[in-house]
Amino acid sequence: MQDQESSSQERPQSSSASALAASIAVEEEARDDTRTEVDASALGGFVDTGANQMSLRAGFKAGGLSVALVLLLFTIFEEFDRVAMQVLGPDIQETLGVSDTVLLGLQSFGGVVLVLATLPFAWLADRYSRVRVLSGASGLWLLFVGFTGAVVNPFLMGVARAGSGFGASARIPIGPSLVADQYPLAVRTRIFAIEALGRPLGQVLGPLFAGAIVVAAGDDAGDWRVVFFALLIPAGLSVLWSLSLKEPQRGRQEQEAVLGATMAPDLTEPPVRLSAAFQRLKKVRTFYFLVVGIGVLGFALVAVPSAFNLLLEDAYGYSAFKRGWLGAITWSGALIGIPLAGRLGDRLFRKNPPSSLKMMGGFILLYGLFVTTGLRFQDPVVMVALVTIGYSFQGMAFTQVGPAISSIIPYQMRSQAFAMVGVYIFLMGGFFGGLLAGALSDAHGERTALTSIVPPAALLGGLLIIYGSRYMKRDIALCVAELKEQQEERVRLAGDPGNVPVLQVRNVDVSYGNLQVLFDVGFDVRKGEVLALLGTNGAGKSTILRAISGLVMPDRGVVRMNGRTITLVDPQFRSQMGLVQIPGGEAVFPSMTVAENLAIWSRQIPDVDKRREKLQLVDETFAVLRERADQRAGSLSGGQQQMLALAKAIMLEPELLCIDELSLGLAPVVVQDLLQVVEKLKEQGTTMVIVEQSVNVALSIADRAVFMERGQVKFEGPAKDLLERGDLLRAVFLSGAGA
């Protein structure tokens, strides 16, 4: 391949690249429209015609009562704890001698910890028994609830509230994940609605519980402590009950609905790390619009309760006790609305899944309408009545979050997905919403602040969720396709267990932003085989290599190495498994010398003697590098830098070596030197995937070839057979890449 080309050659190439990018963009717009059109057969057991509807009784018979009731009780008692802090706030303030600001800070501190601690608990839930983690965390929450009743100063109260928030946070990622795996798809939405009843039940019954205990204790200033001690009894019994729960198999319900049977858990598959899960979750379009919509709504969700309480105090002079009772009344409507939403949402989801999210978005719009309208009335009776209706629509809307996330997210990542919902609420609306509400309230009053925040938050949040529903069928279909592919692979391995490819790429799609660049890419690489990835500029060769090595997260599809799924494994862990990539033009540390490059790279070899042995092997194999050991790597020629990159890779004895653009821009004599090294690796049995534009170079070393064009595989087979495909080779030569 020539090192340089004339400017007259560069202009057509630039024009060709621009035309290619434009054509891909046009095709992408067309595909974006068709992605929402998914045949019902692709949704597996997620939809039905109505003939196979399951009663709630049958659902409980299949999944048992324990999981649903334990989660319901946990939610109720956690709300009791929070409501007690609000209702008994004046008594606590008097006992501890703190200001209003400190009291509000203590009350909210536990909520901050509650949200942020969901991520570590999601991490634990993916690695250990979820029911044991939940029981342990709930026991920790119980301990700090008791500690709350014994505190003697504000600092200890802060510790107590942080501890209770930390323990309660485990339910957010773990509870929905347990429901999804414990109960059949046909009743899943109704079970989620039962769990959602916990919050309004806690808000309605909490003031009754706190008031009754204080009155029974004598109604003295320090009797607020008795409420927290009394809560230990029913909550402690619930924690003991949770110890009897059995861990459901992950993904069991989807497997039974889609495949007709459950698959044995794959113990060799590594757990999904949070960083990889976050990257993949961003690719799920329905989830993206759902959490962003909820995050925007968070401006209202966080601002309304606190500002509404201040409004009742400042505008109407209501005491803390009366405000607590009114708070209970505002949540009473949700006790009726949530069961209705669960039943209606279940029917809509089973007939047409996007309809359930559209219903959720509609309820959010109604929440904003009724709360905003109610706040404009001066009459407290009318205001509280309309806010009560608004709260009922809020509760009804959130019954659909659990079923939606459970259906569009692969079961391996459910806990992280549910944790992300709370994080988005806090980071988007929870933090900024509180600041904005406080600033507007100080300047113009609580009523103006709320009527300025609630309408745009509810409108934008609801519309985002409604818009995201258009991708729901597609995202469910992708989960179904992954399950079916996983089953097919297990059947294939059972029939031929000794024939496991070193690398498997299945149905991989990759996008950069909204532009999809890979479409359903798939191929295998056997042990000791050299596979050449060929194609024109912009065909997606380097992108699929990046997906294999973990440098880019696929939108969908599976990557396996030696039978282990590594799609969601971080690049550094793939390297430990024996996968090494030489990225094109980026494989050396330019500011370091050759010797320093090799020395720092060799640190990945833990055995010191073996490290010395590998460095000695590099010296013997690459004389040109030995002669330039003290030269900065950035000052080496292109061929010498490529040799240094190969030397670094050889030291790690890779089981799978991926080389991006081996010969690009190098003189023929340099290419020959590199090919000799590659041939030696091939003789040693190293499996390789080489991205190459030069057909001559590729066919001289490859056993098999994959030809790509516009992100799709157009040819896969023996390298020599590619010579007979003049139509494909002509495209390479016309692009100027076939020399």
Dump the DSSP string for 78-118.
HHHHHHHHHHTHHHHHHHHT--HHHHHHHHHHHHHHHHHTH
CA distance 507 to 239: 44
pLDDT at site 221: 73
pLDDT tens digit string along 688-713?
999 877 778 888 888 999 999 889 99
Dump the DSSP string for 575-644.
HHTTEEEE-TT-SS-TTSBHHHHHHHHHTT---HHHHHHHHHHHHHH-HHHHHTTTSBGGGS-HHHHHHH
pLDDT at site 2: 39
Q: Which residues of 117-133 are buried (b: 16+ CB within 10 A; e: fewer)?
A: bbbebbbbbbeeebbeb
HSE-up of residue 602 (Cα within 13 Å, Cβ side): 21
Could you give all domains of the chain from N- to C-terminal order, each with its CATH number?
56-478 (1.20.1250.20), 500-589+650-734 (3.40.50.300)
pLDDT at site 20: 47
Structure token pair of residue 646: 């190969």
If you ran DSSP here, which 8-state letter would residue 333 be given? T
Give me the average pLDDT of each 10-residue run along the chain (739 residues): 39 46 50 55 67 82 95 96 84 83 74 86 91 97 95 92 93 95 94 95 90 84 89 96 95 88 77 82 92 90 78 81 82 94 93 94 97 93 95 96 94 90 76 70 80 92 96 92 87 81 93 89 93 86 92 90 88 88 81 91 88 87 86 86 86 90 76 84 90 80 90 89 75 49
pLDDT at site 430: 63
Q: Which of 531, 572, 532 is nearest to 551 (CA)?
A: 572
pLDDT at site 446: 81
Residue 191 neighbours by CB distance under 10 Å = 27
